[in-house]
Chains A and B, each alone.
Chain A
Amino acid sequence: MTQTTAATPPAVSTPPTARRRRPRRRGNAARTYLILMALAVLFAGPFVWLVLAALKTKAEWVTIPANILPEDPQWGNFTQALTEINFLAYLGNSAFLSFVFATLVTLSSAAVGFAFARLRGRGKRPLFVLVLSTMMLPQILTLIPTYVLFARVGLVNTYWPWVMWGLAASPFLVFLFRQFFAAIPASLEEAAIIDGCGYGRIFVQIFLPLSRPVLLTSFVLSFTWTWGDWIAPALFLDPDQTTLSVAIASLYVDPHGNPDATVQAAAATLYVVPVLVIFLFAQRYFIRGVVSSGLKG
């Protein structure tokens, strides 16, 4: 357990009293682990309970007192989840919308971030303040009137709104790109300008290739936004055109109209798995995205 002694303050500058503290710190570490594990159970519990519910028979799900573990894991719930509704079609809609939105919003936000980081223009400062302020604006505030407006011009029940939201750039991602681009040394583009390079080529050939990690962060974040979004597809899309999130929330009912808990749990499991997988592989990109917005002040 050498790690515990190395915690704040580093050994070099530790005052003599620190030696006396060592045994106590070890006890602290054990206590910290106990707290952490108890909390981990609380945070991971809902996932575990979901998967367990997905593996139970309907009868087993309603027995009181409940079995914690399913007696005979019902893998058939998953096949039923896939076949009871047109799961794959909704999955396709979700994947398509998420991909289109994430690609467009990443490129447009990169361009806008480049403008705010690297270019000079009249009114740039107030415009940037406006970008920062719109970050504070809850999405629902503009979403509802957008729906009312789009319903009148026939844009409802098409995928065009997602294309437009993608092209419009996200203030949050603009900020992410702007911070990254602003930290790149100016000498790079100066050399390119002397060589007769315009800003278009500087952006595409120098800045975009350099920003691969931020591009990935942006893509991962915006993909999961759309994948997890419920309210926009619920408002804008008809039931047959909608995404997996809307379908899962409302379509799993038995012939009597009651929610079919175990099959819905299986469907929800299938629906979160891509998010979990992306998260496991791209954890640091998620965290970078969240942190950069929260620390901006």
Chain B
Amino acid sequence: MTTKGTRRRRKGWQRYSSRTFYLFASPWLLGFALLTALPLGYALAISFTNFDGRSPRWRWVGLRNYTELFDDADVLASMVRTLAFTAIAVPIMVAGGLGLAVLLNQRLKAVGLFRAIFFLPSVVPMVAAAIMWKLIFNRDVGILNEILDVISIPPVTWLVDPNAFYALVILILWGLGGGMVIMLAALQGVPAELEEAAIIDGANRWQVFRNVTVPMISPVIFFQVVTGVIFTFQIVIQPLLLSQTREVGQVTHVPESTHLFMVQVYEEYFANNRYGYASAMLWVFFLVILVVTLIVLRSSRLWVHYEVDSEADR
């Protein structure tokens, strides 16, 4: 067999392989183009207009939507509220997930049962979760006020301002079991020898946790913080479903304290029909996510650990 022949054959095989790659990847490529890039591009286009969703008489307004939104007190307030919500919910979510994982990362009986109980809320459909918590938060007959009554605290109106904010925090925290199983898997990936060595060196359990375990799983903790921040930034469905109204999902009924940024966007789209303005807000949010993602990708070299990379990525 001549080297020329093998080279040609190899080249043909490469071309076949490359074509097959694009054939197999085409569902995602087309999907990305049509269902991610196109809608986002469309939103960008209408963010420069005063389009109201139906009227054909719209015109270009340039950057006016963008300049307006940074002057809009409601928008700015919703941004501040979202940041406050994130600052409260994400640390509790991550620390709580880690705490539960540490509790379950012991050889105890019925660990599987507890893990299932803690994890289950994170897979419960949001509609069902909202219904459950509305029954609990009910001012007059909810179990929460019933319990508070036992320690003689007067009834709290959970689902209106300003307490709706805390009710939403509780609803979100109820689902922290998803983070817990990730932390648990990370903890189980920490080599036991490391912790044993530290114990032999005289470290107590807290020191081992602080100085050995946490640094070992820090990439996972970091990733949990990032996804947690993005998750809380985009919250819109839970406030809509939690609002105590006759018509669920009416954005105008969402209490002010749970009127987060995406709720504001939703309201501008579907209650005020200001599609252009809302699209500008959507794009501001998209740019924020983009920056966060870029930072994560940039820093990922420092902390990402690909287990099966070398072969597959050639």
Q: Which of the segments A72-80, A208-216, A260-268 contacts the partner chain?
A: A260-268
Report the bound CA distance from A7 to B236 in whole Å. Answer: 43
Inter-chain contact A9/B199, CB cutoff 8 Å: yes
List A contacts of B181 (CB < 8 A): 287, 290-291, 294
Answer whether A10 and B219 are a contact pair too, CB < 8 Å, given A43-B120, A265-B131. Answer: no
B35 and A199: CB pair below 8 A? no
User: Size of chain A's interface in residues, with CB distance under 8 A?
Assistant: 118
Given contacts A145-B282, A297-B300, A50 and B132 within 8 Å (CB-CB): yes
Q: Contact partner of B303 among A49, A258, A293, A297, CB < 8 A?
A: A297
The answer on a CB contact under 8 Å between B27 and A43 is: no
B277 in the interface (beta carbon within 8 A):
no
- Tell me if B108 and A32 are in contact (CB < 8 A): yes
Q: Could you say which residues of chain B place their CB within 8 Å of the CB of A44?
A: 117, 120
Q: Is A97 engaged at the interface, CB distance under 8 Å to the other chain?
A: no
Residues of B within 8 A of A293 (CB): 182
The answer for the CA separation of A36 and B140 in the assembled complex, in Å, is 30
Interface centre among A118, A151, A183, A290 (most CB of B within 10 A): A290
Within 8 A of A (CB), among B249-266: 249, 262, 265-266
Which residues of A from 109 to 149 have beta carbons under 8 Å from B? Answer: 109, 111-112, 114-122, 124-125, 127-134, 136-138, 140-142, 144-146, 148-149
How distant is B239 from chain A, measured CB to nearest CB, in Å?
12
Q: Which residues of B contact A279 (CB under 8 A)?
A: 116, 120, 123
A61 within 8 Å of B by Cβ? yes
B residues 142-184 with Cβ under 8 Å of A? 143, 146, 149, 174, 177-179, 181-182
Q: Is B84's CB within 8 Å of the partner chain A? A: no
Q: Does A197 contact B (CB under 8 A)?
A: no
CA distance A142 to B35 in the complex (A): 7
Most buried by A among B36, B118, B119: B36
Given the interface pairs A65-B146, A203-B24, the reply to whether A10 lies near B292 with Cβ below 8 Å is: no
Q: What B residues does A65 contact at CB under 8 A? A: 146, 149
Main secondary structure of the interface of A (DSSP, over half): helix
B1 at interface by CB-CB < 8 Å:
no
Q: Say whether A250 contacts B35, CB under 8 Å.
A: no
Known pairs A36-B114, A109-B27 / 10 extra A-B pairs, C-beta < 8 Å: A3-B107, A32-B108, A39-B114, A136-B226, A144-B266, A199-B17, A200-B20, A286-B119, A291-B181, A291-B182
Residues in chain B within 8 A of chain A (CB atoms): 14, 17-18, 20-25, 27-32, 34-36, 38-40, 42-43, 46, 53, 100, 103-104, 106-109, 114, 116-133, 135-136, 138, 140-141, 143, 146, 149, 174, 177-179, 181-182, 185-186, 189, 192, 195-196, 199-200, 219-220, 223-224, 226-227, 230-231, 233-234, 236-237, 241, 246-249, 262, 265-266, 269, 275, 278-279, 282, 285-286, 289, 292-293, 296-297, 300, 303-309, 311-314
23 A-B pairs with C-beta separation under 8 A: A3-B108, A40-B114, A43-B117, A64-B140, A66-B146, A115-B25, A119-B21, A127-B29, A131-B28, A136-B289, A167-B27, A178-B312, A181-B312, A199-B24, A228-B127, A248-B127, A250-B248, A257-B246, A279-B120, A286-B119, A291-B182, A294-B181, A297-B306
